[in-house]
Amino acid sequence: MKLIPVGVLGAGKYVPDRILTNKELETMVDTNDEWIVSRTGIKERRIAADHQATSDLCLEAAQIALTNAGITADQLDLIIVATVTPDMPFPSTACILQEKMGAKKAAAFDLSAACSGFIYGLANASNFIATGTYQYALVIGADCLSRITDYTDRNTCILFGDGAGAVVIGAVPEGRGFRSFELGADGTGGPLLKLEGGGSRNPASPATLDSRLHYIYMAGAEVFKFAVRIMGNAADEALRKAGMEKEDIDLLIPHQANIRIIQSSLSKLHLNEDKCMINLDKYGNMSAASIPVALAEAAEQGRVKEGDKLVLVGFGGGLTWGASVLVW
C-alpha cells in the first residue's frame, strides 16, 4: 500500500497573559535572577489564570491552527491532546476540547508521554492519515504545570510554565511532510521525574497531601545527564531514518527545558544557534507544549519556508524521548 505524505497544514500557539518573572520568584524562594538565567536560560514563564484549565489553553491554540490550516472544526477526524495535566482523569481533555470546538465527528483521546508527548502524538496521528484512515487530525501539546509545581521547591519551581501549541496535519505534496519518527522509552528512569500522588498507587489522602506527593519531583542532575545524551542521539537516529545528514538541517526545534541541554544538542549536531528555535527565556519548560509552541512561533516569525528541513526533538518523564524530521 502506498502511504500518503503527511505534514503540517497549520500551527497555532497560546500562552496565558500572566508573567511570572525571576524577580518575583526571588520573593517566593531562596533564589535569584542571575542564578536562574545562568543555569537554565529562563527569564520568565507564563501562568494560567485561576479560571483556566488545560482544555482552555488547547482551545485557543487549536482555533489559530485551524484558521492557519484553512479548515473548520467539523472537518477534523481526530484530536490528540498530549498532556500530563488533564482537566481531570476522565473524560479526556481531548473529549472536553472536542465539545468546546464542535468537532462532532472527531475521535478524541489524550496521550501521556510528558515533554515528549507532542512528538508521540504526531507519530500516532500521522499514521492514521498516511494510511487513508483519516483526512485531518489536530495534535496538541498542552500543560498547566503551575498546577503541579511546588512553589516552595527552588530546584523545580524556577523551571515550569503553562501553554499550548497545536498543529493540524493532513496530506501534503510528495517530498514534503514528516520523513521519519524516532520514539523511545526507558522505564527504569521513571523515578527520576514523577508525580506520585492522585493515582491508583497513591490515591489522594491527607497523607499524600502532607507528603507533597501531588507536586512534580525531579532528580535534576540525573535528568540533565539523560537529556544531554538522548537529545543528540534521537535527532541522529531520526535523520538516519530520513536519509539525511546533519548538514541538511535548516532549523532545530528542541524541547525547551534548559539552555545548556539545547547548547549540548547543537554541539552534537554541529549547528550554530541561528539554526535553532529558542524561546525558553520567555516561557520556561512547558512540557508537551514546548515544541509545538516553538514550531508555531517559528512559523509566525517567518523562520521556516517551504522545503525547509526541520528536526523536532524532545525528552521527558517516563523516561521518554522522541524526534522527527519534517520537510515544511
Cell of 199: 493515582
- Please name which of 182, 215, 186, 185 lies closest in space to residue 198, comparing C-alpha atoms: 215
* Cα–Cα distance for residue pair 86/204, rounded to 1 Å: 16
Cβ atoms 116, 315 nearer than 8 A: yes
Instruction: Respond yes or no on whether the N-terminal peptide bond of residue 319 is cis (omega within 30° of 0).
Output: yes
Q: Check if 258 is active-site.
A: no
Phi, psi values for residue 142, rounded to 5°:
-150, 140
Q: At a CB cut-off of 8 Å and minimum separation 6, what does 43 contact?
A: 21, 22, 33, 36, 37, 281, 282
Phi-psi map region of 103: left, alpha, beta (phi>0 left; psi -120 to 50 alpha) = beta
Q: Check if 115 is active-site.
A: yes
Instruction: Say which of 58, 115, 157, 276 is annotated catalytic.
Output: 115
Instruction: Say which of 22, 68, 124, 285 is annotated catalytic.
Output: 285
Handedness of CA 103, 109, 111, 112 (dihedral sign): positive
* Cα–Cα distance for residue pair 290/281, rounded to 1 Å: 12
Report the amino acid identity of residue 4: I
Instruction: Say which of 22, 95, 255, 279 is annotated catalytic.
Output: 255
DSSP string, 134-153: -S-EEEEEEEEGGGG--TT-
Handedness of CA 307, 173, 135, 109 (dihedral sign): negative
- Please name which of 218, 243, 228 lies closest in space to residue 313, comparing C-alpha atoms: 228
Distances (CA, A) of 276 to 118, 199, 232, 246, 256: 18, 37, 13, 13, 11
Q: Check if 51 is active-site.
A: no
Which residues are designated catalytic?
A: 115, 255, 285
